[in-house]
Amino acid sequence: MNRFEVEQDPKSRDTYYLNMGPQHPSTHGVMRIKLHLDGERIISAEPIIGYGHRAHEKMAENRDYIQFLPNPSRVDYLGGMIYNVGYCQAVERAMDIEVPERAEYIRIVCNELNRISSHLLWLGTFLMDLGAFTPFLYAFDDREKILDILDRITGSRLTYCYARFGGVILDIDDVFLDNVSNFCTYFVERLKEYEKLVIGNVIFRERTIGVGIFAPDLAQKYAITGPCLRAMGHENDVRKDEPYGIYDRFDFDVPTQTEGDCFARTLVRMEEMRQSIRIIEQAVSDMPNGLFLAARVPRRIRPPEGDYYFCVESPRGSFGMYIASDGSDIPFRLKLRTPSFSHISAMPAVMASTMLADAVAILGSIDIVVPEIDR
């Protein structure tokens, strides 16, 4: 029997096992869900992960802090900027490195642009999973605009390595700020179009309302974070609860919904994009002059011995980095706590006794990024 073949239960003629994946389009990567089905009803679901395991944590133990800089953005390729900046902030806090004001503001603008681009990709692919092709083209068109803006200053379009310990590698210019301002004006109008196109759509509502409900106790059991948690009525956001960088200076809301279904998660993410625009507008208008990289950064990055934990709000939830330092150049242990890993481990509880077609909607709505699960 080959590795992917599923064994059927010979005693039962009513139920059967079905592989969803490893190359199913709606898993957005290489992941398999072993479904036990009674007709079209799911009896149990077992996610099988690890096809994209690249051993980032092992790599961290074999290279120094600076050499690990390009890795975090490869862990989650959609929120690459946020991961890259987050890793730098983690080490900066451990080493007590001061970051210039201008660099902090640049990071905020880039982080939030990255969050919007991640949410746009999610919107497009989620709706394509549900059978709607048009929003995919709209979302990717707008996402392309963000990628062009970021490409101009960072030199990359997806896996950014822009932040450095103590700031960012290159300064921004007025053209970048103009581009960002123009995009904000354009995108606020565009969001209204999305809402008309998507939220009001009857088929979309039928496919998502009441589907994939996260039971209230699920949050505590599985440590759900991010938009999935906010769709369950918790007003939790790392940017508000444990403000990192300079997030405490900005005025923005944490959108919540109470239903906890796929529709609520969609509404939360749509509103989050609007809030991100608000943050960007404030950051652009307050952008100070000055250094973009601290003048005095220690040449050897050696955090004092001990454990450090730093978490940031990634587009999918709370992304944490646990760094155990033994006082040398190389991390003794670096653990990446990724939100998708927690969310996908809750899938057996969410998917049980739903319909097969809803499994696609649920997987799409929690916004998984498979490399982030596998690391």
Partner 1 sequence: MIADKLSSLLRDTTEVQYDARGFHVQYTASADTLPQIADAFLSENFHLEMITCQDRRENDDAFRLIYQFNQYGMPQRHVIHADIAPDATAPSIAATFPAADWYEREIFDMYGVSFDGHPDLKRILMEEDYFGHPLLKDFVDPPNPYRSEDDAS
The site for partner 1 (CB under 8 A) is made up of 3, 49-50, 53, 55, 57-58, 61, 93-94, 96, 219-223, 229, 234, 236, 241-242, 306-311, 318, 320, 322, 324, 332-333, 335, 337, 341-342, 345-346, 349, 374-375
- How large is the angle between the packed helices 101-129 and 356-365, nearest 10 degrees? 170
Give min distance, CB of 368 to partner 1, in A.
Answer: 14
Q: Cα Rg for the chain, rounded, in angstroms? A: 21
Looking at the Cβ atoms of 324 and 355, the one nearer to partner 1 is: 324
Residues 6+ apart with CB under 8 A from 363: 26, 27, 33, 129, 347
Looking at the Cβ atoms of 194 and 341, the one nearer to partner 1 is: 341
Closest CA to 187 of 286, 117, 257: 117
CA distance 227 to 219: 12
Looking at the Cβ atoms of 157 and 302, the one nearer to partner 1 is: 302
Q: In a 10 Å sphere around its CB, with 0-12 CB exposed, 13-18 middle and 19+ buried, how is residue 3 labelled?
A: exposed
Quick one: tokens of 27? 């898993």
List alpha helices for 237-261, DSSP H: 238-241
Give min distance, CB of 51 to partner 1, in A.
Answer: 9
Looking at the Cβ atoms of 1 and 202, the one nearer to partner 1 is: 1
Give min distance, CB of 220 to partner 1, in A.
Answer: 5
Question: What are the DSSP calls for 49-97, one per residue?
Answer: --TT---HHHHHTTS-TTTTTTHHHHHSSSSHHHHHHHHHHHHHHHHT-
Helix (H, G, I), strand (E, B) or coil at 313: strand
The answer to whether 332 and 326 have CB atoms below 8 angstroms apart is yes
Give min distance, CB of 13 to partner 1, in A.
Answer: 26
Looking at the Cβ atoms of 223 and 297, the one nearer to partner 1 is: 223
Give min distance, CB of 84 to partner 1, in A.
Answer: 18
Give min distance, CB of 298 to partner 1, in A.
Answer: 16
Looking at the Cβ atoms of 208 and 236, the one nearer to partner 1 is: 236
Looking at the Cβ atoms of 124 and 166, the one nearer to partner 1 is: 166
Give min distance, CB of 65 to partner 1, in A.
Answer: 16
Give min distance, CB of 55 to partner 1, in A.
Answer: 6
Give min distance, CB of 341 to partner 1, in A.
Answer: 7
Looking at the Cβ atoms of 9 and 286, the one nearer to partner 1 is: 9
List alpha helices for the chain, DSSP H: 56-60, 71-75, 80-95, 101-129, 134-154, 174-194, 202-208, 218-222, 227-230, 238-241, 262-286, 339-345, 347-351, 356-365, 370-374
Looking at the Cβ atoms of 358 and 374, the one nearer to partner 1 is: 374
The answer to whether 252 and 111 have CB atoms below 8 angstroms apart is no
CA distance 168 to 291: 10
Give min distance, CB of 269 to partner 1, in A.
Answer: 19
Looking at the Cβ atoms of 110 and 218, the one nearer to partner 1 is: 218
Quick one: tokens of 271? 């509103």
Q: In a 10 Å sphere around its CB, with 0-12 CB exposed, 13-18 middle and 19+ buried, how is residue 85 labelled?
A: buried
CA distance 354 to 280: 40
Quick one: tokens of 121? 């990709």
